[in-house]
Structure formats: C-alpha cells, structure tokens
Amino acid sequence: MEHSSEDPRVIDPASQGYTGARHLEVHFEIASQCGLDCRHCSSESGSEGEPVRLDAESIARFAESLGSGLGLYISLTGGEPLTSGQFLQVSQALRRVGSICRMGFFTSGCIVTEAGMRRAIDHTSALRLREAGIDFCYISLYSHLGAVHDWVTRVPGSHECSLRSIAALLEIGIDARVHFVPLQQNQSDVGETISFLDQMRVPEVRFLRLVKHGRARRQWQLIGLSRHEQAALLREAVRTVDESGLSIEISAAGFPELMDCRPLGQGRLCQAGISLLYVDRDGRVFPCACKKRDERFCLGIVGESEILRKVRSVRREHNLKCLQDA
C-alpha cells in the first residue's frame, strides 16, 4: 500500500493551508485532566490531573523561535485540552506567531464538568473556538456504536456528546476529523464506522496505533491487538474507502511501512523529531508523543538555551521505523 503524491488518500498540503515552506508539526500538552476514563489511555489521564508547568507565554516564545522558514502546524493536546483554564490564553498567544499556518486541538468532544455533567461542544463554544484562531481538531471516536464507544471511555453518553461536538464544529467550518484507536472491541465493524463517519462528512479518520503503555498495559488482555492485527484493520479501512467510493481519507500514526506517518504529505515514513515535535506539560521536548514518557528520547526543555540547537541537529529526512519499534 505505497502512497504516491497523487493518491487521494494522502491529504493535499495546499488544502491544509500549507504554504510551500518546510513544515513542522508541534503538539503542546496543556492539560493532564480528562473527564473520561478510557481503557487504553497511555497518558492515564483522569479527573485529578497533574500540575501543568507549560504556560501560554513559553509556548508562544518557543513556537516563535522555531519559526523562520518553517510553516508551523500547532495542536493543543492533553488530557483534555478544553478543560485547561488556559486554552484560550494559549491560542491567543499563538496567534501572534507569524509562521503558524494552522492551529488545532485533540479532544474527546465530551467535557465532563466538576459536577459530573457531560457537555458537548455546542454551536456557541464552536464559534468561540473559531474566533480564538482554531482551524481544525481531531475528536476521538472508537466506534459508530454508542455501546462500544462508551464501554471504552467508561462514561455513558460520551458517544452522543462526541457526535454532537463533531456536528457543531463542522457546521461552523472548523475542520473536524476523527482519531480512531484499533481495539478488540471495534475491529469487527471498522468498515461500518468508516462509512458512518463518511456520511457525517468527516473528511479524515486517523488511526492511532494502540501501544502497551499506561492503562492499556493493564487492560491488554481485554482490549489489545497485535501490531499485525492493527495493520490488518488499517488495510481493511483503506479497502472499504476504495471499494465503496467514499470520500473520507484514511491516515495513520505508527505504521510508516504502510503509510507515511504525518498527514501533511511532505514527509516520508516516520517524521519523529524531523517534522514533528511533542512538548509535554513540563515543557520537555520529545520527537513524538509515543515517546513522551521515555527520558532517553527527551531533546531538552522549552526555554533552555540549547534547545533549538538540539532540535535542529536532527538532519535526517525520515526514520525508517516508528520509534515504538526502533
């Protein structure tokens, strides 16, 4: 399943606001809390949460320093970034950074309030996000079936919330896409899930490889799929799109031998540390989220004098393997 630049499943960088400069994706972890309790969560995010030391000004300064000659694609992540008291502050601070092409966030689409109420992103909050400069988001959805999704998140009603959030975001023009994690419970009807999302006019489903970290390690017998089984599901999703003539695009993180890992079309195979950086809640910079708890991969800390030299010292065009397999 080698992809060429003409392959319609590869997202066209021009349609993503890509300007022709070399691009760099940077993910900033601005929250550790999350109201859901997903069985596979590698961050083990929960309602308590750890302190977040990364603040809006250091995020904007770091983004600015990475800037020149690069088109930046920023994603705010967590935990659930929408529970961060500084979400709007961070996006406002980032708006002054000239080299940013697009700004987005990763969310469950289901906010659980302190009183335990579930809340979707409604029309008004979606408009507020757009005004804050948000262009895109990826919402986690584990099945078209509410029972399966809610079993994974362990929050009844979370599926309905996530669907309402997707609809509200798409309606006001935020480019809402889906993150999907292959699990034992959603493998048998992956085709139906893809078709369902295509009908909702979701432009892309991005497969995130399930890794044996955090909660997933403890739940592995119950939910885990081998790398080979996950790759087979990814192939099946692509086949569904091809055979049914769907317009939804399939991308994947963590399977560079099947599909270039980053969705912006320029970088080949694994782009960890090359066109991708992950900054954790303590400001530590890693080549990719999949190695965010592994000190051996830490490139340095936002704000330290050597960080840019360390980041730029990565001169490769690509890594052959996902860092999870290296």
Binding site for ligand SF4 (CB under 6 A): 253-254, 256, 261, 270-272, 276, 288, 290, 322-324
Angle at 226 between CA 221 and CA 227, to 5 degrees: 150
Name residues whose C-beta falls within 8 Å of residue 294's C-beta, 6 or more positions apart in sequence. 286
Smallest distance from the beta carbon of 247 to ligand SF4, in angstroms?
A: 25
Smallest distance from the beta carbon of 257 to ligand SF4, in angstroms?
A: 9
The DSSP annotation for 140-154 comes to E---SSHHHHHHHHT
Residue number, 111 or 238, with CB nearest to ligand SF4:
238
Name residue 203's amino acid: P
Q: Are strands 118-119 and 111-112 parallel, antiparallel or unpaired?
A: antiparallel
Q: Which of these, 10, 269, 41, lies nearest to 153 by C-alpha position? A: 41
Smallest distance from the beta carbon of 25 to ligand SF4, in angstroms?
A: 9
Smallest distance from the beta carbon of 236 to ligand SF4, in angstroms?
A: 20
Residue 126 has a CB neighbour count (10 Å cut-off) of: 23
Residue number, 178 or 270, with CB nearest to ligand SF4:
270
Residue number, 66 or 272, with CB nearest to ligand SF4:
272
Residue number, 176 or 252, with CB nearest to ligand SF4:
252
Residue number, 193 or 271, with CB nearest to ligand SF4:
271
Rounded distance between C-alpha atoms, residue 220 and residue 294, angstroms: 20
Smallest distance from the beta carbon of 151 to ligand SF4, in angstroms?
A: 26
Residue 270's DSSP bridge partners are 319
